[in-house]
Amino acid sequence: MEEEFLKSVNEHQGIIFKVCRMYCSDNTDAEDLFQEILLHLWKSWPTFNATAKVSTWIYQVSLNTAITRLRKNSRRPAHKVLSLAQDSIREVPTQRLDILFDKELQDAIDGLDKFDKALVILYLDEKSYKEIAEIMGLTEGNVGVKINRIKKKLKEKIKR
């Protein structure tokens, strides 16, 4: 079970990196979120439904973890996190977390709410509306409408 999990996570770790980059302002936060997502993935691995794609499941867990973390952090005063040695999980390659979009686009995306940001991540990752709908729990039609609205918002923000 452990080998299957590690293989799946290593094959799809780019998904986790994208989510971390979109929801974190610096590498330290992104690395913390990456570890938190791995923990949630591992905890939910035994209940993973093999009829769904692994990538879809990883997106769901990653986005839910990032959004939940964002909610918790917005309600809580800042605190210092203790650093613990990591024995069995390999270190996060920080160069993968430094991937940036055009500065204007990144700033515009950062200004979106957490759900719109999740849709943008999936859209920029060239997921189909069907896959996005499955990951986000929406209908395909709703995904199309939301993405078109988000595109308009981003164009307006960039024009300013």
CATH number at residue 119: 1.10.10
DSSP of 70-134, one letter per residue? Answer: HHHHHHS---PPPP---SSSPPP-HHHHT----HHHHHHHHTS-HHHHHHHHHHHTT--HHHHHH
94 shares its domain with 114:
no
| Domain limits for position 111 | 100-160
Boundary residue ending a domain (98, 124, 146): 98
**Cα–Cα distance for residue pair 14/98, rounded to 1 Å:** 12
Residue 79 predicted with pLDDT over 70: no
* Domain stop point among 98, 122, 152: 98
pLDDT given at position 101: 54
Count of domains for the chain: 2
Q: With a cut of 90, say whether residue 146 has pLDDT above it.
A: yes
Residue 52, helix vs strand vs coil: coil
Q: Are residues 109 and 93 in the same domain?
A: no
Question: Tens digit of pLDDT for each residue in 30-46?
Answer: 899 999 999 999 999 98
Quick one: what percent of the chain has pLDDT higher than 70? 81
| Predicted local distance difference test score (pLDDT) of residue 61 | 93
Contact 42, 5 (CB under 8 A): yes
The pLDDT score that the predictor gives to residue 91 is 53
Residue 117 CA to residue 86 CA, distance in Å, equals 30
Q: State the chain's mean pLDDT as an integer.
A: 81
d(CA 86, CA 145): 43
Q: Give residue 52's pLDDT.
A: 78
Q: Please give the Cα distance from 67 to 69 (Å, whole number).
A: 5
91 with 122, same domain: the answer is no
- pLDDT, residue 90, reads 54
The answer, yes or no, to whether residue 55 has pLDDT greater than 80, is yes
129 and 72: one domain?
A: no
**Does residue 112 contact residue 120 with C-beta atoms inside 8 Å?**
yes
Q: Is the pLDDT of residue 19 over 70?
A: yes
Query: Mean pLDDT across the stretch 144-159?
Result: 90
Q: Say yes or no: 64 and 15 in one domain.
A: yes
- Domain shared by 41 and 91, yes or no: yes
For 26, the 3-state DSSP assignment is coil
Spacing of C-alpha 66 from chain mean position: 6
**In this predicted structure, what is the pLDDT of residue 98?**
43
